[in-house]
Amino acid sequence: MMSNHPSSFRDPSGFMFSVEGTFYRCVNKRYAVEYDKLMSSGLYKELVNRNLIISHVEVSMEDVYSEQYKILKPEQLEFITYPYEWSFSQLKDAALTTLTIQKIAMGYGMSLKDASAFNIQFHKGKPVFIDTLSFEVLKQEPWVAYKQFCQHFFGPLLLMRHIDPTINKITSNYIDGVPLSIISKMLPPSTKFSMGILMHIHLHAKSQTKYASAQGDDIQGIKEKTSKKMDTNQLRGLIESLISAISEVTLNKVTTEWGDYYSFHNYSKDGFEHKKQIISEYMIQLQPQKVLDIGGNIGEFSKAVVDIASLVINTDIDPLAVEKNYQYIKKSKLEKMITLVNDITNPPPGIGVMNRERDSFIDRVKGVDVVMALAIIHHLSISNNIPLEDTAKMFSALSGTLVIEFVPKTDGKVMHLLETREDIFPLYTVQGFEKAYTKYFTIEQKTPVFESERIMYLMKRL
Amino acid sequence: MFLDVATNLVHLYFGISPSALAYLDPGTGSIIFQLLLGSVVGGIFFITSKYELLKAKFKQLLGNERKKDQHSDDE
């Protein structure tokens, strides 16, 4: 059965739809000229060769839409992430990918008509542009996607740099990017001394607010102003200026609780290796396709799975841990791991029209072959007061197989959590844990970790 | 020309900005701002690209001279 993708309605050039789980793109007749130019000019070929755009094949499929021109079957993505789940460098690389594409496109007489961060996905370890219908014929006019680019990329990057790396999650409240007037107000005044930020954020924001309130006679003046031309040098200058401004933004070297977690964990070297070995052994038995690692920190244990599974989705609450993992994925050209920022006690909901344009985190991960929940149970049940049984229910809703580590109260990490609060968790014991979890799972294997009091479990949903 | 752009940018910087939640699409302000910015970034781009071109030609010339020198040394 065919169904249109709920986020694919804004652009009249075409739309996404799926048939039995496979995604296709319909190119409408009104976009025929642009699509043919993209394909015949050599632009598409260059972008595919440089791994900058998702490739596709044209397929024959009748009666999809009365105005259909072509039906494309793009290379399928394994997992979708959203900009509000990315770490600093993920967003920065996505921004530079978008600008590189625009620069190349201009060389072929084309230009991006959208610069939405949602048009970038991480595929085989790299950012890739997924909206094949975003190209238009280059005109001697201002770049139509300039505002969107600044709101989706430059602004949020600056907030992460100048305020806090965790702030990116607020961008989920602004589906078309954070308004520049808000970014301009949030940034420290010192940013006005940086030419790139002054131009593309502060003055840009002022121009937006100035002209947004125009009325009456002003409108004619605005019409005259907006009909002026911009020559190729000016357009190239704008893109080069954005590339240089984005390249200059770097994250301050800050340490967090999690970024250095493994320097302070409670395992001996042997215990740490043993835990990796247990996970590998479980995974060899399970032979999973997709594995979700919840609270996976910098990906140490995801790496133990990456050669066995076809995709490991590594998530962590700390954007700096995700940042470290992303740098590792990039450096080691790891194609089978995706990393994203996620707080499992408050995962991103569905957003946009009818809450259906962007899927909730839960909807995207539901049905993975295995959930790994290593050294996270004490954060869920003690730091967040979630009853053990509720955590079991949550994991059972995500997957049929669970690899979980129980961290007892005698472990240094749990003792630390209980140092400053009353212990209201009498059921938080090995027996209490097993009792709660066996309401939803059967325990297939139970393996104590060497030189620690922690226990690893392999469980199957009832 | 440059003075016009500079005056406009200064005027924009010190001007009073009303709320962003106004009626017209704020994209209008982005378009007008780009036209203003165009002469600045376009000028910088023009100068830097010519400079890069000159630098490359100079390097190429210098390289040829070096090759010539090496060639004559070999002889």
CATH number at residue A329: 3.40.50.150
Single residue among A22, A51, A74 that ends a domain in this structure: A74
Residue from the list A203, A235, A240 with its beta carbon closest to the beta carbon of B9: A203
pLDDT at A139 > cutoff 90: yes
- What is the rounded average pLDDT of the residues A421-449? 96
CA distance A194 to chain B (A): 14
In this structure, is residue A253 part of a structural domain?
Answer: no
Q: What is the mean pLDDT of residues A129-149?
A: 95
Residues 6 or more apart whose Cβ sits within 8 Å of residue A242: A99, A149, A154, A196, A200
Which of A21, A48, A74 delimits the end of a domain?
Answer: A74
Cα A207 from Cα B22, distance rounded (Å)? 13
- A206 and B17 in contact by Cβ < 8 A? yes
Categorize the per-residue pLDDT at A96 as very low, low, confident or very high, splitting at 50, 70 and 90: very high
Distance of residue A163 Cα from the nearest chain B Cα, in angstroms: 22
- pLDDT tens figures, A151-203: 999 999 999 999 999 999 999 999 999 999 999 999 999 999 999 999 999 99
Residues of A with CB under 8 A from a CB of B: 142-144, 146-147, 150, 179-182, 199, 202-214, 222, 225-226, 228, 230-231, 233-238, 240-241
Q: List the single residue in B35, B43, B44 with the smallest CB-CB distance to A225.
A: B35
Say what the ipTM of the complex is.
Answer: 0.82
Partner residue facing B45 (CB), from A180, A204, A233:
A233
**Residue A192 host element (H or E):** none
Q: How far is A202 from chain B (nearest CA, A)?
A: 8
Tokens 């690389």 found at: A93
Which residue of chain A comes nearest to B44, CA vs CA?
A: A237
Would you say A408 and A454 are in contact if contact means Cβ atoms under 8 Å apart? yes
CA dist., res. A194 & res. A432, Å (int)? 57
Same domain for A39 and A154, yes or no, is: no
Residue A327 counted as domain residue? yes
- Same domain membership, residue A101 and residue A38: no
pLDDT score of B13: 67
What rounded mean pLDDT belongs to chain A?
Answer: 93
For residues A51 and A120, membership in a common domain is answered with: no
Among the candidates A178, A213, A248, a domain finishes at A248
B residues 40-59 lying closer than 8 A (beta carbon) to A = 40-46, 48-49
Q: Is residue A450 part of a domain?
A: yes
The share of chain A scoring above pLDDT 70, in percent, equals 96
Distance between CA B70 and CA B49 in Å, rounded? Answer: 31
Using DSSP's 3-state secondary structure scheme, residue A436 falls into helix
Q: Are residues A384 and A289 located together in one domain of the fold?
A: yes
The 3-state DSSP class for residue A196 equals: helix
User: Residue type at A447?
Assistant: T
Report the distance separating Cα A208 and Cα B18, nearest Å: 10
Q: Quote the percentage of chain B above a pLDDT of 70.
A: 53
Range of the domain at A274: 261-461
**A420 domain-assigned:** yes
